[in-house]
Structure 1
Amino acid sequence: MNDLVASPFGSRAVAVSDTAGARQDQSRELAETQVKYLMAQQFPRDVVANMDKILNAFTRPTLAEQSQYQFSRGGSDISGPSIRAAEAIAQQWGNMEHGLRERSRGIGPDGVPFSEVEAFCVDLEGRTTSRIQFIVRHWRDTKQGGYKLKDERDIYELMANMGQRRKRACIIAQLPGDVVDAAMSQANTTLHAKADTSPEAIQKIIAAFEPFGITKEHIEKRIQRRLDAIQPAQVVTLKRIYASLRDGMSQPSEWFEMADVAEAGASTTLKDITTKHAAQKAASKAKKPQQEQFEQVGSPAVDAIIAEIDKASDVDVLDLAMDGFRGDTEAISAEDMQRIESAYQNRREILLGA
């Protein structure tokens, strides 16, 4: 009497969202979101006090130096607030929430796994949201054709690298334009006030530009005066030019008259250092044992690359430089590559913890 006939339509499958654990997570997230909005309404931001906090934050030289990116395009200089600047402004502006979240994973038609990632910024007080969704393939391109990423740390770092710029765009979209402009003006004022024009600082400037084939004469011709008479504003400009060259976003010829540099054969980027290193190894291969040529030819180029990594002042800058370098790994031995990756990971942890 109690036997039931099986339904011709089959049994109802229980969706993941219908499980008890999923319902509990959804309820908790809903309650947390409601509390955040409620607290933002009960404790609205004091725009005058918060603006003072933002300006005070950008009086710190370290933050001021990391606050802007700059590169040359179409004959003009392009600059803007960095991700560190955007995060600092959002923190002091108050009642804002921002971040990255991995929404799902899948496998593409080409068999390469991918992650669907979302960058977001929420103004809890204004109840407005900016979101950017994008796909991150678990793939790293190289000259040999690229390979799939399997290590979770590599996948996370790839998503973080691609997501930082989108998160910056979301944060800037939620901030008043005049607040961002005031913060950047304060950063410029701090840099001008803290710019070091001492003889020791001038020697450091000359030494920093030397790997790019830029001499003291090139710098003096650009600033239209002797280096010992350089102005603080010009020191700030040179620092930004150096950062642009170091990150491979521009070439020396875009900033200086470099007619004689090509003849000197000077390297300009990490890529040029790697290419020169490969040529040196090929030329010495027939003359020296493998171990000897590694010690005498490999170390200088690798040390130069590690030195550039250690100079990176921002995670965006570091990731961009490392992404550009990974495409030239055929010129570097496995031992050298391990040293470079270790230096990259150490510097990234330091910057994230700063």
Structure 2
Amino acid sequence: MNQPVEHARAHAPAPSRIGQGTAVEQSRAAAEVQAAVVVAQQCPRNIQSAVAEMRESCKQMGLAERAFYRYPKGGQTITGASVHLARELARCWGNVQYGLTELRRDDEYGQSEMQAFAWDVQTNSRNSSTFIVPHRRDTRDGPKQVTDMRDIYELNTNQGSRRVRESIFAILPPWFVEEAKDICNQTLRNGGGKPLAQRVADAIKTFEGIGVTSDRIEARLERDSGKWTEHDVAQLIVIFKSIQRGEVTAEDEFPPQRVSVDEITGQAAAAEGGAA
């Protein structure tokens, strides 16, 4: 039984008194936790079934395409398994609760205190982390203060999803996670049964839709599209999904080709010669 409790509540600082609704919610939450433990003990997971479900799920392109992330940091590209894969593995493993909660918001200092957690209610294995999210966004012009309630909610959720991912992976068996990643990689390389030539054509068309031309992709992969491998196409899928999620930009992954002064001069001379 999985009970994702993923929410980052957007609210004002907590009042000193406890309202009736809050008291009812606290009682309900306590009863829910007790019930989850009882059900987990009465209906323990079947590991063989969990593995079979994980393998079937990771063979689906819909999951494989979202199973990995990438973003630039310190001049390098960081990659790994995404929160989408973590949530699906928690569902397959069963008897896992996970979530994200805003413990306190301090508008005076412009920050939120958050907690991310994952809990295997069957084995009582739990991982949690408490962290501070400043109400600021990094922009090209430097950090910018965030004051809009919805923007703060989205900022807290985005920052918290990474901790939720790590919490889930911390309580799942490493062999379970590694096999899932291997199958997802294999699914990306297989491309759902499509011929490689078709997948290459689809990848080029997809990137053209966001303004990335085939020559920029070829420069990134350091070979012509006719020589792309299954691994190349799989890598492009991960890059495209990361661009969609805002983890990287198209310019970071596919820098526009720079034109040298000699090339510009040569082109100008050729144009003048043709006009003459």
TM-score, length-normalised on structure 1? 0.57
Give the equivalent residue in structure 2 for 1:348.
none
Give the equivalent residue in structure 2 for 1:276.
none
5 Å-filtered alignment, 1:254-265, equals: 261-263=257-259
Greater Cα radius of gyration, structure 1 or 2? 1
- Report which stretch shifted further, 239-248 or 156-165: 239-248
Give the equivalent residue in structure 1 for 2:117.
120
Secondary structure in 1 matching 2:259: helix
Give the equivalent residue in structure 1 for 2:40.
40
Is 1:171 matched with 2:168? yes
The gaps in structure 2 that reach 5 residues or longer are 1-15, 262-276
Give the equivalent residue in structure 2 for 1:331.
none
The gaps in structure 1 that reach 5 residues or longer are 1-14, 266-354
Distance in 2 separating the partners of 1:147 and 1:217: 36
Cα offset, 1:80, TM superposition = 1.8
Distance in 2 separating the partners of 1:161 and 1:220: 29
Give the equivalent residue in structure 2 for 1:236.
234
Query: What percentage of aligned pairs have identical amino acids?
Result: 28
Distance in 2 separating the partners of 1:22 and 1:238: 47
Q: 1:206 to 1:26 in 2, by over 3 A?
A: closer
Higher RCO (Cα < 8 Å, 6 or more apart): 2
Q: 1:201 to 1:16 in 2, by over 3 A?
A: same
Give the equivalent residue in structure 1 for 2:86.
86
User: Per-residue CA shift, 1:177-226, capped at 9, x if unaligned?
Assistant: 00001111111121122264455543443452794576179359735xx5
Q: 1:204 to 1:32 in 2, by over 3 A?
A: closer
1:135 to 132, 135, 146: 132
Q: Which has the higher helix share?
A: 1
Give the equivalent residue in structure 1 for 2:181.
184
Q: 1:70 to 1:37 in 2, by over 3 A?
A: same
TM-score, length-normalised on structure 2? 0.71
Q: 1:264 to 1:124 in 2, by over 3 A?
A: farther
Q: Compute the RMSD of aligned alpha carbons.
A: 3.6
5 Å-filtered alignment, 1:1-354, equals: 16=17, 25-70=25-70, 78-107=78-107, 111-142=108-139, 143=141, 146-150=144-148, 152-194=149-191, 196-197=194-195, 199=197, 201-207=199-205, 208=207, 211-212=211-212, 215=215, 218=218, 222-223=222-223, 227-242=225-240, 247-248=248-249, 251-252=252-253, 261-263=257-259
Letter in 1 for 2:176: V
Distance in 2 separating the partners of 1:87 and 1:212: 31
